């Protein structure tokens, strides 16, 4: 995932965390060729968008399930048929 910063108003965020956690995060970020700031920006962007994506996915699944009901010729499965072993 990439954070597109073109034409966006950027805000600063100050967080407080354990020095050891920050040191480890810096090491991991460097191993990935990124900064801690970039890692946090990517994570927060994903976190903020996650709710919207889940709602969209649920709507899509419901729409598709309605279509598939009509495509199976009105066949209704019983619970026993669905769980036959």
User: What is the reported pTM?
Assistant: 0.54
Q: Which residues, other chains included, contact 41 with Cβ-Cβ below 8 Å and sequence gap of 6+?
A: 3
Q: Give the per-residue pLDDT at 36.
A: 96
Q: Say which DSSP state 7 is in.
A: T
Of residues 59, 12, 19, the one with CA closest to residue 40: 12
Q: How do residues 13-65 score in pLDDT, each as one tens digit? A: 999 999 999 999 999 999 999 999 999 999 999 888 887 878 888 888 888 88
The model's confidence at residue 85, banded by pLDDT at 50, 70 and 90, is low
Q: Give the per-residue pLDDT at 35.
A: 97
Torsion-angle region of 33 (φ positive above 0: left; ψ -120 to 50: alpha; else: beta): left
Q: Give the per-residue pLDDT at 30.
A: 97
Q: Which residues, other chains included, contact 62 with Cβ-Cβ below 8 Å and sequence gap of 6+?
A: none
Q: Give the per-residue pLDDT at 3.
A: 54
């Amino acid at each position: 995932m990439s954070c597109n910063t073109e034409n966006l108003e950027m805000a600063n965020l100050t967080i407080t965390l354990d020095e050891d956690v920050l040191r480890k995060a810096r090491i991991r970020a460097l191993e990935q060729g990124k900064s801690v700031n970039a890692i946090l920006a990517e994570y927060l962007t994903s976190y903020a968008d996650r709710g919207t994506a889940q709602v969209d996915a649920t709507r899509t699944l419901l729409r598709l399930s309605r279509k598939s009901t009509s495509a199976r010729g009105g066949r209704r499965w019983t619970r026993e048929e669905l769980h036959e072993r």
